[in-house]
Structure 1
């Protein structure tokens, strides 16, 4: 029997922004769930009042993966995130339930955590453009939301790097392969909204739920839905993803316990293939999302460089 999806909706009599917050897109990422349940309790007790707009809270977006206490139920929910008239797995059925929820909102905050040590960071989409990959016209609003989430780093250009990965693998013209790269944020942007993913810290970091909780409150305040905006912080470092390296075999291994934003220099060995061949950094930059447990054929680590983009309040 399929696991049921639980949503909590709050609506003010006063019109305003429509925000949806997701937790537990991956079953082993619990910080968003804890934070969402805390905000729900605040609203239901009256400690927090929704003065305008609509708020939908989804504590566990992938109930099957959560019950199994692993990243995926049957596959990664944050891929192929588009309606499917013939859903073939649990995640496709959940996607069909979540897509209409996202489509009727203006803003998405998607709360995640990561495998290895590292500091929290936000992820945003493309700059305003009318190109074929991911046309978008709300980059300023999206960047403003990222600025208010309180992280020291903001990372851009996920889908561009994913498309380049497909090109290297000879799948550049495969629409299904590109569609597989779509997650919650890409779908939200395709529906006219905007979205930020917040990586709140390592899975078991006791501070990660607090990072997620503060981010929800900051989002509500920025959108004039509830609470007061936090004091301004120094501008975050803005990074642009430029490469992704796949783990190809079980014998592939990283040469150290890398953490997101560890610096690397061009030519520096990062890992070893199963046959002993070194995997070296193609440029100066930083590691993002190192995953020593990545399955063969999936993303092993990303590389990023400083971006020339400016995010302005």
Structure 2
């Protein structure tokens, strides 16, 4: 798709401009927004979204009802340098400020009102190490102060319709534990696109499509877009197989304390561990063993000191 490649080159060359594409059917229906490259080195969503744009522009995909907004490159500065972030991580403090201070603040000022006018968000990401793609959902319905929510059933339904056979829940609660361990306040830290979407009355699912540069991750992202459109009745497209198995609930996060800390194995997300299994060793020789039967998630062997090194989840 040469036109898409040209659009990608142009977007990377103009980080001061944020672009999105919206289609609105004259038949009322749900509104869906899809984000790519919230982290600039996670490009599978960008390619999948540009392919969807091309299909819509050439009539291979027709919006039957509702409104669809596609944002292929949510962080052009980071995308242009093939790095995770520009000035900072866009997906850890996605909160509009009256006076934006950095590049990601300016991006948030544009994207936040856009998200707030939609019912659902699909956020396309990828990850460092090899592993299976998965969907991430937020909290269960609750009236708590941190992340009150009333649309968990719709969110879970969307996650299970996107063509992946793994679902993870409970992100913010466990991220907060990491922030507290670093001595950070629990105010805006940890609030990403999904959390902001929920705060505005919508619901949101992140798809981790695979390893960053794996071409298969693009196909996973394309399938997720089609799955969302099919579920919401927005387009006549084949629906991927629905996942009806158990989710994994995040329970613990471990921070790296020293660059000499070492993982005990080449862990991949969803590798199974039994209570007592050795997961990692600290620089001083302390062993970190699984406290319960579960899985390793998001292992990051190159994590900086004080950053998330790996997570543990249990069946939900």
Category of TM-score, reference length = shorter chain? over 0.9
Query: What aligned pairs does 1:182-221 form with structure 2 within 5 A after superposition?
Result: 182-221=191-230
Q: Aligned partners of 1:200 and 1:29: how far apart in 2?
A: 9
Task: Note the C-alpha offset of 1:256.
Answer: 1.9
1:47 aligns with 2:60: yes
Task: Note the C-alpha offset of 1:37.
Answer: 0.4
Tell me if the contact between 1:245 and 1:301 (Cα under 8 Å) persists in the aligned partners: yes
- TM (normalized to structure 1)? 0.93
Task: Note the C-alpha offset of 1:249.
Answer: 2.2
Tell me if the contact between 1:222 and 1:229 (Cα under 8 Å) persists in the aligned partners: no
- TM (normalized to structure 2)? 0.92
- Secondary structure at 1:34 match in 2: helix
Query: What aligned pairs does 1:78-89 form with structure 2 within 5 A after superposition?
Result: 78-89=91-102
Identify which range, 267-276 or 94-103, moves more after superposition.
267-276
- Secondary structure at 1:161 match in 2: helix
1:17 alignment partner, one of 16, 27, 30: 30
1:225 aligns with 2:234: yes
Tell me if the contact between 2:78 and 2:84 (Cα under 8 Å) persists in the aligned partners: yes
Residue of structure 2 in register with 1:27 after alignment:
40
Residue of structure 2 in register with 1:236 after alignment:
245
Residue of structure 1 in register with 2:162 after alignment:
149
2:90 alignment partner, one of 52, 56, 77: 77
Report the RMSD for the aligned CA atoms in angstroms. 1.6
Q: Aligned partners of 1:169 and 1:295: how far apart in 2?
A: 12
1:58 aligns with 2:71: yes
Task: Note the C-alpha offset of 1:52.
Answer: 1.1
Residue of structure 1 in register with 2:255 after alignment:
246
Q: How many residues align?
A: 303
| Ranges of 4+ aligned residues in structure 1 off by more than 6 Å | none
Task: Note the C-alpha offset of 1:167.
Answer: 4.1
Task: Note the C-alpha offset of 1:69.
Answer: 0.7
1:162 alignment partner, one of 163, 166, 175: 175
Residue of structure 2 in register with 1:279 after alignment:
288
- Secondary structure at 2:248 match in 1: strand
Q: Aligned partners of 2:243 and 2:71: how far apart in 1?
A: 31
Q: Aligned partners of 1:157 and 1:301: how far apart in 2?
A: 15
1:297 alignment partner, one of 282, 297, 306: 306
Unaligned runs of 5+ in 1: 308-313
Residue of structure 2 in register with 1:262 after alignment:
271
C-alpha offsets along residues 266-287 of structure 1, whole Å, 9 cap, x if unaligned? 2322122223322222222100
Task: Note the C-alpha offset of 1:128.
Answer: 1.0
1:127 alignment partner, one of 140, 159, 175: 140
Task: Note the C-alpha offset of 1:306.
Answer: 0.3
